[in-house]
């Protein structure tokens, strides 16, 4: 490899690794498996070792990946410096490299005898807790290793992290570090809720834990079922001689320390420990992706010291995720709703992690290049903790002579329009949004979805309407007639009538914020649409907003601002808006600022179960009358609004806290009744001031207490 070739490869590797760090630590949406990432890092380090003159200070090999929140995009978390740098561990997938680690440590320590502390490597997100005088003072994320996000409010909602230590003998102030993770049971429950709400599920428990820890609602964090395991105690003049002694003492103070630790005296015992947990990890109630081996004696840890990125006295052995080897049959290039073109590999069907895998994403041209994939290759497919199968490597020994590299298309594979690539983005896009069929159909599906206009229709119906030429944009939907619908295969009078009534209902009931989300401005999701609607209050004001004015809005960064400006610069989009205006859609917040009544003012209500209207409509109804929605039951909860099939956990928590139940019928009766002043002596019961007896009645309205 020449110096020029090395420079080019380093730049490519640094770009991909840096992007992967952002997706892993900040967005919680990784595109590389741990193994893929580590292989790229090994290659980067090998090139830098061969060409040291090319090493730069910003190289990922010299820096810890950062989970720091963007202060512009998220103002909820303050940032504080770590008292001691919070580094990462060196990784290996080879037992021989564990032997090399032990040999290096022994040599550096002059042949002194020492032991190893072997521990499970929890697959979660790193946390640093500071205790002062036995009380939790602060919780910081890893951040960039030097500073971290303050997530203390959220950590206080994690059940097994004590606010006050028990026993005695703790230092006046110390730090203890560990991992916050989501057990499989909580992960499955959360993803089931997301599927019911038609939201994208988390890919794995690690992403779920990291995303949950950064939520802005601490009560919702508490509901997510996070847990913590701590594994490293730091402080000044700590009275311990070994790492294991420190953790034993931490456990006596009530801190959550893993029960699966083991002291090993030699490589044979380390290998036996690794072998045991490689087989037994599938029976654990949480995800673990390896074993951490540490020199146990603290004075020897200090002697071994640190590199710029990791301690020399510890190493992580990573378990390999389950893989399968199968032939690549072909590559499709799919066009999404936003115009993004994604390469997808078609594979010879193969059994993997309990399912048959036939397709796997290749993400983008950069990833295809890194894999060096060729037509007809045999490829390794991996799922591990991921839901979406990924190709992680090519078996070069099976590559046929003369195999051809696939060429990423320069034009849209559907409509033929030249593709474009945004600066700083890895994906290519088709800009022909008005005439590219998959983009049009994707926009229509999004427009009619439950969280947008909530119209009775599915993707198959949209496909029919598009193929018949009845719709080409969202405004066309409101021009449809029953006669047109009856021309569609399988449509009868009742189905056509329901669809048209659903469209009419969407005009009457869909508020501006959901209309704004429905029209499909790129990067403007449900929450961003709500923020924009409340800030600008009308589509016309949003259209006239400058870039500077858009950037003043919370949660709106440069990418979103530019996307909004680009969308409104297209005259065809505003023509659609004018057609929707004539139909009668709400393109402004018409009601006066504030709730329509104060019946529920100051009340915190948790909803659970099903009602005569959708959960979103019930939330809106409560907020319309001054109430505040909370996602979990706490001492601050005023009522639990219990519908059919209310969650047993919420019911149990409400009972334990003495929180009253409220039925939908009683809620509607309350909203239909003028609430007199308390001094009138004729009031609807308030749980905050309810007497000790079990019921209280006002004009036939009964509030049931536990």
Mind giving me the DSSP string for 4-26?
HHHHHHHHHHHHHHHHHHIIIII
CATH 1.10.1060.10 fits 437-509, yes or no: no
pLDDT for the residue numbered 126: 93
Nearest to 68 by CA among 182, 157, 151: 151
Helix pair angle (34-50, 3-21), 10° resolution: 150
Nearest to 394 by CA among 416, 370, 417, 415: 370
pLDDT for the residue numbered 419: 96
pLDDT for the residue numbered 355: 66
- Do residues 534 and 510 lie in contact, with contact meaning Cβ atoms separated by under 8 Å? no
Task: Give the H/E segment covering residue 291.
Answer: strand 288-295
The two three-digit tokens of residue 288, written as one number: 């673990």
Helix pair angle (95-108, 267-280), 10° resolution: 140
Alpha carbon 616 to its chain's center? 21
Other C-beta atoms closer than 10 Å to the C-beta of 234 total: 17
SS3 641: strand
The reply to whether 398 belongs to the active site is no
- Beta carbons within 8 Å of 415's beta carbon, 6+ residues apart: 430, 432, 435, 436, 437
Nearest to 651 by CA among 598, 608, 620, 599: 608
- Do residues 615 and 642 lie in contact, with contact meaning Cβ atoms separated by under 8 Å? no
SS (H, E, C) 362-401: CCCHHHHHHHCCCCCCEEEEECCCCCCCEEEEECHHHCCC
Averaged in consecutive runs of 10 residues, what is the pLDDT profile of the chain (706 residues)? 83 80 62 72 84 79 61 61 88 91 94 95 93 94 88 92 91 95 89 68 84 85 92 92 96 95 96 92 86 96 88 91 89 91 94 77 89 95 69 93 95 96 82 92 92 88 94 96 94 93 94 94 86 90 93 83 93 94 92 65 86 76 83 84 82 88 87 46 33 33 32
Instruction: Show the CA angle centred on residue 563, arms to residues 561 and 567, nearest 5°.
Output: 120
Q: Which of 107, 121, 390, 530 is catalytic?
A: 121
**What's phi and psi for 189, nearest 5 deg?**
-65, -45
Nearest to 499 by CA among 451, 452, 457, 458: 457
HSE of 362, CA atoms in CB hemisphere, 13 A: 29
Please tell me the distance from the alpha carbon of residue 338 to that of residue 301, in angstroms, as a whole number. Answer: 52
Sign of CA dihedral 350, 353, 358, 361: negative
The two three-digit tokens of residue 117, written as one number: 């502390």
For the domain bounded by 3-62, which CATH number is listed? 1.10.287.610
Distances in Å between the Cα of 611 and the Cα atoms of 312, 452, 607, 643, 664 are 58, 20, 10, 6, 7
**What's phi and psi for 589, nearest 5 deg?**
-80, 110
Tell me how many helices (H) and strands (E) the chain has. Answer: 24, 24
- The residue with tokens 């959360």 is 190
Residue ranges per structural domain of the chain: 3-62, 79-318, 323-398, 437-509, 512-583, 604-704
- Identical fold, 323-398 and 437-509: no
Domain at 79-318, CATH class: alpha beta
Nearest to 543 by CA among 532, 552, 528: 532
pLDDT for the residue numbered 214: 87
Domain at 604-704, CATH class: alpha beta
**Superfamily (CATH H level) for 512-583:** 5' to 3' exonuclease, C-terminal subdomain (1.10.150.20)
Q: Which CATH architecture has domain 323-398?
A: Beta Barrel (2.40)
State in Å, rounded, how far the first CA of the chain is from the last one. Answer: 75
pTM value is: 0.52
Please tell me the distance from the alpha carbon of residue 286 to that of residue 662, in angstroms, as a whole number. Answer: 36
The two three-digit tokens of residue 437, written as one number: 């069929």
């Amino acid at each position: 490899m020449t110096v020029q070739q090395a420079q080019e490869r380093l730049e490519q590797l640094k770009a991909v690794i840096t992007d992967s760090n952002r997706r892993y630590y900040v967005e919680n949406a990784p595109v590389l498996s741990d193994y893929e990432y580590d292989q790229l890092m090994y290659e980067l380090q090998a090139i830098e070792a061969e060409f040291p003159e090319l090493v730069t200070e910003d190289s990922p090999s010299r820096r810890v990946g950062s989970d720091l929140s963007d202060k512009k995009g998220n103002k909820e978390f303050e940032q504080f410096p770590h008292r001691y740098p919070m580094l990462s561990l060196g990784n290996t997938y080879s037992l021989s490299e564990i032997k090399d680690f032990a040999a290096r440590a022994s040599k550096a320590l002059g042949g002194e005898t020492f032991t190893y502390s072997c521990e499970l490597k929890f697959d979660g997100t790193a946390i640093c807790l500071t205790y002062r005088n036995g009380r939790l003072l602060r919780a910081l994320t890893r951040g960039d290793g030097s500073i971290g996000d303050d997530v203390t409010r959220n950590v206080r909602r994690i059940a097994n992290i004590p606010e006050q230590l028990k026993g005695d003998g703790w230092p006046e102030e110390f730090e203890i570090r560990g991992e916050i993770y989501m057990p499989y049971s909580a992960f499955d429950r959360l993803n089931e809720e997301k599927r019911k709400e038609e939201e994208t599920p988390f890919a794995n428990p690690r992403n779920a834990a990291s995303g949950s820890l950064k939520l802005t609602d601490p009560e919702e964090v508490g509901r997510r079922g996070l847990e913590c395991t701590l594994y490293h105690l730091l402080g000044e003049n700590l009275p311990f001689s070994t790492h294991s002694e420190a953790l034993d003492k931490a456990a006596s103070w009530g801190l959550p320390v893993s029960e699966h630790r083991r002291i090993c005296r030699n490589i044979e015992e380390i290998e036996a420990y690794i072998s045991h947990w490689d087989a037994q990890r599938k029976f654990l109630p949480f995800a673990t992706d390896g074993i951490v081996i540490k020199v146990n004696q603290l004075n020897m840890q200090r002697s071994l010291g640190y590199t710029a990125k990791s301690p020399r006295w510890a190493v992580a052995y990573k378990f390999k995720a389950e893989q399968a080897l199968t032939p690549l049959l072909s590559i499709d290039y799919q066009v999404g709703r936003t115009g993004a073109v994604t390469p997808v590999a078609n594979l010879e069907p193969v059994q993997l992690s309990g399912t048959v895998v036939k397709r796997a994403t290749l993400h983008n041209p950069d990833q295809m290049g890194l894999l060096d994939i060729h037509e007809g290759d045999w490829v390794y497919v991996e799922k591990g903790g991921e839901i979406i199968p990924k190709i992680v490597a090519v078996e070069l020994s099976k590559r046929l002579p003369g195999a051809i590299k696939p060429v990423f298309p320069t034009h849209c594979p559907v409509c033929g329009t030249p593709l474009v690539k945004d600066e700083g983005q890895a994906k290519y896009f088709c800009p022909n949004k008005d005439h590219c069929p998959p983009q049009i159909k994707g926009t229509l599906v999004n427009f009619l979805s439950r969280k947008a206009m909530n119209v009775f229709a599915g993707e198959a119906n949209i496909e029919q309407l598009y193929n018949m030429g009845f719709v080409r944009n969202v405004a066309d939907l409101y021009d449809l007639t029953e006669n047109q619908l009856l021309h569609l295969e399988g449509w009868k009078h009742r189905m056509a009538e329901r669809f048209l009534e659903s469209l009419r209902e969407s005009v009457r009931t869909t508020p501006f914020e959901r209309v704004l989300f429905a029209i499909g401005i790129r990067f403007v999701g449900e929450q961003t649409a709500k923020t924009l609607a409340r800030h600008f209050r009308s589509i016309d004001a949003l259209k006239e907003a400058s870039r500077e004015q858009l950037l003043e809005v919370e949660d709106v960064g440069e990418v979103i601002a530019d996307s909004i400006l680009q969308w409104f610069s297209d005259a065809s989009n505003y023509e659609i808006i004018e057609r929707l205006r004539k139909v009668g859609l709400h393109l402004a917040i018409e009601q006066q600022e504030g709730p329509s009544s104060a019946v529920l003012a100051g009340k915190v209500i948790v909803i659970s179960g099903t009602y005569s209207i959708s959960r979103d409509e019930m939330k809106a109804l409560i907020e319309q009358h001054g109430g505040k929605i909370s996602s979990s039951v706490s001492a601050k909860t005023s009522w639990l609004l219990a519908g059919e099939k209310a969650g047993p956990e919420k019911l149990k928590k409400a009972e334990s806290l003495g929180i009253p139940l409220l039925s939908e019928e009683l809620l509607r009766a309350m909203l239909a009744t003028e609430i007199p002043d308390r001094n009138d002596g004729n009031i609807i019961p308030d749980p905050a001031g309810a007497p000790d007896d079990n019921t209280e009645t006002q004009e036939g309205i009964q509030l049931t207490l536990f």
